[in-house]
Chains A and B, each alone.
Chain A
Amino acid sequence: MKLSYKKNFSNCFSGQAHLEPLAWIFALMNLIFVTGAMGLGVFLLVQSLPIMKAEGLDFWLGENWWVGETYGALSMIVGSLMVTALAVTLALPIALSAALYTSEYLSPSLRRGVKGVMELLAGVPGIIYGLLGISFLAVTVKESFNLLYGNTLFTAGCLLAIMILPTVLTLAEDALHAVPIEYREVAEGLGLSKLQTALRVVVPQASSGIVGAILLGIGKAMGETIAVLMVVGSLDRIPGWNLFVSGQTIPSKLGREAAEALGSGLHWSALMGLGLTLFFMVSILTYSGTRFTEWSRR
């Protein structure tokens, strides 16, 4: 990509545009954007090199994170995966059935109402969900499962499920609603019932868009910091198969320790390594998610 900038001038400016000063200003702005975006990845990579050198693969496979001695990220990685998996398992069936109902059965004005509420809620700040989680969800979990401490991986997973619900719902609904009306008319004309039409015609047609919505939801759950940090309990250990214990996710670990390590030493590099791991996980999800969504639009 970079090469084509230098090699082929006409790629960067169409026609005689390179003679206009405005074009150069815009190109400069674009360069700032590209540097910012790529710089983020490059910085994470360069800054995590010291810890990669010191720990090697043990950085991802080690279980112990003792500041000053050894840095192993496995418990955070497992924690992140478990919390995300729980959130998705809880949110997905609900979000998808509600999306199907909203798109196929609701009247246009009701549909707009539901979409409005969902889009408004998708913008509710993480800190607000954290406040709700700490005052209600954690207490409920503690009491209904008879625990000593309500801040568990389970609590974080449930909270994340509520957080990603509006996003997944509204994106999946967009995909379903984008299926042309003719498909439905033909299917119903052939004698399929409304539900059969929805499940056998509309859903398959919208499938790539729905997959895209799901992947974006997973990415959002995996990267959420503040709400998870408040209810996950922040204890570095591999939880085994028990969800009802305190744990740690990658973002919550970063949020807890970034202020202590600010800017220097192996501890900072270890945090950057965690950040890099998270960046890769989320970027892969996002990339495939947008690809699916684009594919469905065509």
Chain B
Amino acid sequence: MKAKAVEKLVLGMISTITVLVVALLITILAVLFVKGYPALHSGFLFEESRDFGRAGGVLYQSAGTLILMITAVLLSLPVALGSVLYQTEYLSSGKLKTFLMQLTYILNATPTILFGLVGYLFFGVYLDAGVSWVTGSLILAVMILPTLQVSIREAVEGLPEKYREAGMVLGLTRSAQIYRIILPQCFYGIVTGIFLGLARVAGETAAIMFTATTFSGIQLPQSYSDPVPTLQTHILILAQEAVNPESLAQAWGAGLVLIGLVFMLTLVAWAFRTRMVMESEL
């Protein structure tokens, strides 16, 4: 009897905790929406920010975030794809494979501010790109390498063995196998990686705040050495003036736009991942 009572008690406790956790996290999302929604007047996405961000919209900030996202992924994708295919298709030493995997994991967990520090020195100072969107994109490209690699690797390694065997029987060279079989079959995995990478870049602040961005006065970059404004740093600066209610309201608005962007990208990534799993089960 007593054991049953204890069991009931423990069960009650952990179920309450679970409900509370889910409730807390849903509350966070609700707060973001409630706080951000009032700032989203009809032109919020299509107006310049005025009065040091206290009024107007986030047109150029959004543009800056998009520029960084797209360039970073374009730079990162060939390296991620090439390195994964090399590791899975060509490399035969098991030890080297494990080492490279560990390298991916460590890179994935490295605090993002360190990418900013080292990246600024390398791209900004040594390659003379300065504080600019190019420096920022290069830094972010290195940062998301592991994200892309993990997704692509998952897809390549999940490929049924019979596909490769069919290719070999047909006498395809390894290169032909790659672009006739592996790349088309892993399409959904690669797209998943791209969208997860985009989401990660969209949410990143620490790595770009002193390497790629500026607060106001700049619109679209005119050359490769111009900095851009971004949503992330826009929020950071407005939030630090938290005493000013107008700034804070604008920060919430920008926050809602940012989180909307990140969630949308993540959900698209998941949709492609589900597609990938379904295909591989055929």
Contacts and interface: CB of A to CB of B under 8 A. Distances in A.
B222 interface: no
Given A28-B82, A98-B18, A286-B105, A4 B117 contact: no
Interface stretch (A59-67, A70-78, A161-169, A181-189): A161-169
Interface string A187-223: 0000001111000000000000000000010011011
| Interface residues of A, dominant DSSP | helix
Given A20-B174, A130-B236, A131-B251, A10 B92 contact: yes
Interface of B: 3-4, 7, 10-11, 13-15, 17-18, 21-22, 24-26, 28-29, 31-32, 35, 78-83, 85-87, 89-93, 95-96, 99-100, 102-118, 120-122, 124-125, 142, 145, 149, 173-175, 178, 199-200, 202-206, 209-210, 232, 235-236, 239-240, 242, 248, 251-252, 255, 258-259, 262-263, 266
Given A30-B87, A225-B206, 10 more contacts: A36-B79, A36-B142, A43-B122, A97-B18, A123-B262, A136-B31, A220-B109, A226-B205, A286-B106, A286-B108
5 contacts: A4-B96, A98-B17, A105-B15, A258-B117, A279-B111
A57 interface: no
Given A26-B82, A38-B103, A223-B110, A230 B96 contact: no
| Interface residues of B, dominant DSSP | helix
Contact of A282 (B103, B110, B116): B110
A283 B110 CA distance: 7
Contacts of B109: 216, 219-220, 223, 282-283, 285-286, 289
A258 B210 contact: yes
Q: Which 10 A-B pairs have the closest CB atoms?
A: A29-B82, A223-B111, A125-B203, A26-B86, A225-B206, A14-B92, A286-B109, A259-B210, A11-B93, A30-B83
